[in-house]
Amino acid sequence: MEKTSFSSTQGKPIRCKAAILRKAREPLVIEEIQVDPPRAYEIRIKILCTSLCHTDLTFSKLDSGPLARFPRILGHEAVGVVESTGENVDGFEQGDVVLPVFHPQCEECKDCKSPKGNWCTRYTNDFLSNTRRYGMSSRFKDSSGEDIYHFLFVSSFTEYTVVDIAHLVKISPEIPVHKAALLGCCVSTGVGAVWKVADVEKGSTVAIFGLGAVGLAVAEGARLRGAARIIGVDLNPEKFEIGKQFGITDFVNPTLCGEKKTSQVINDMTEGGVDYSFECIGLSSSMEEAFNSTRPGSGKTVVLGMEKDAMPISLGSYDLLRGRTVCGTLFGGLKPKLDIPILVDRYLKKELNLDGLITHELKFEEINKAFELLAEGSSIRCILWMDK
């Protein structure tokens, strides 16, 4: 990819198009906005393409509480190029291909320096601010001069956005940008959960609850780890054929289990339960079923889905005493700046399969159609191109 010159816009506000959420449950509105220059430790990015995640859909429906903010620019899976940098920015230069990520890595705090996990003590606990270092200060203004709220420190449903360096990864220009965009959330979350959190071994048995983009990425991670049996659980029978591309060997449709619970069916299939289960839906009931589908003594459940109503889950204390474990993960336990380049390399070596996850490609102006496709379950990932 050839580097583009942005010398005429550096240090100046940019006017561009953005898809703005003005009110919950209403279509996004394409408007002209102003994007301010980056401040210290920030980078302004020209978005090349972006994709739509269920998290975007969920937040578009929130009409109350501290997370419901309007007007707002959603979007957090995207790839762009560096247009300009603020002060104190090292390692990035104009024209670099970059991947913005919602999960921060400051590289300086105790947890960022620890190999144990991917929590960033310095930043991760704050998910309400507009900008990472400047609180509610916004880089977006609408045509009337009103501030527009950011989303997950990315806001990719715009031709230009401003991102803190703690949320930005430089990637190889050799990977197709629409494939790379998936590494900003779904693929990293799914593959990472298998490799980093569960540490699945060759010959293991795996159950995956929910075969959306994250669930299929879990299957791909398990396939690459050499899992002997990968059981997919979903209400949509079409997902089995798609799942086969990612290593799924068996399929369970909960509506066809008769009087048996899904966990009972899986226990029967595996003679006592799977070694690892992954919950990728975000329902407390499926979290419980995922836990109950693992084998006593060593079974491990990893929760990736976000319970939209923050409902508690009920687990039998005796089942925990029998050696089963359960844990959650954000961004699959990956440290973005360290691990995303590894995923890019695995893709370029034709080891990591991303084919089949992208089911639709549309123009950015068709973003509301992308929301409809995702809401009705017709798409896994829809890529929105800025310049097509």
pLDDT > 60? residue 2: no
* Coil, helix or strand at residue 30: strand
Say if residues 43 and 82 touch (Cβ distance below 8 Å): yes
- Name the amino acid, one letter, at 367: I
% of the chain with per-residue pLDDT over 70: 98
Residues 6+ apart with CB under 8 A from 274: 204, 205, 206, 207, 229, 231, 266, 293, 294, 295, 299
Pinpoint the alpha helices (H) of the chain. 54-61, 110-113, 177-180, 186-192, 213-224, 238-244, 262-270, 284-292, 317-321, 336-348, 367-375
List b or e across 268-305, with b for residues whose CB sees 16 or more CB atoms inside 10 angstroms.
ebbeebbbbbbbbbbbbebbbbbbbbbbeeebbbbbbb
Say if residues 71 and 22 touch (Cβ distance below 8 Å): yes
Query: Would you call the peptide bond into 71 cis, given omega within 30 degrees of 0 as the criterion?
Result: yes
Report the C-alpha dihedral over residues 225, 97, 174, 242, rounded to 10 degrees.
Answer: 50
Q: Give the per-residue pLDDT at 309.
A: 73
Q: What global pTM score does this model have?
A: 0.95
Cα 64 to Cα 75: distance, rounded to the nearest angstrom: 19
* Coil, helix or strand at residue 235: coil
Say if residues 150 and 130 touch (Cβ distance below 8 Å): yes
CATH match for 3-184+358-385 among 3.90.180.10, 3.10.105.10, 3.40.640.10, 3.30.930.10: 3.90.180.10
Instruction: Dump pLDDT digits (tens) for 306-360.
Output: 877 777 888 888 889 999 999 999 999 999 999 999 999 999 999 999 999 999 9
Beta strand 168-170 with 97-100 is antiparallel
Q: Give the per-residue pLDDT at 276.
A: 98
The mean pLDDT of 235-253, rounded to a whole number, is 96
Axis-axis angle for helices 262-270, 284-292 (nearest 10):
20
Q: Give the per-residue pLDDT at 79.
A: 98
Q: Give the per-residue pLDDT at 127.
A: 85
Residues 6+ apart with CB under 8 A from 255: 235
Q: Give the per-residue pLDDT at 5.
A: 62
The mean pLDDT of 69-77, rounded to a whole number, is 97
CATH match for 188-330 among 3.40.30.10, 3.40.50.1470, 3.40.50.720, 1.20.1070.10: 3.40.50.720
- Average pLDDT of the chain is 95
Q: How confident is the model at residue 305 (pLDDT cuts 50, 70, 90)?
A: confident
Ordered by start, the domain boundaries in the chain are: 3-184+358-385, 188-330
Q: Give the per-residue pLDDT at 59.
A: 94
pLDDT > 70? residue 93: yes
Q: How confident is the model at residue 22 (pLDDT cuts 50, 70, 90)?
A: very high
The mean pLDDT of 99-107, rounded to a whole number, is 97
Q: Give the per-residue pLDDT at 130.
A: 94
The mean pLDDT of 118-145, rounded to a whole number, is 94
The tokens for 322 are 């029998």
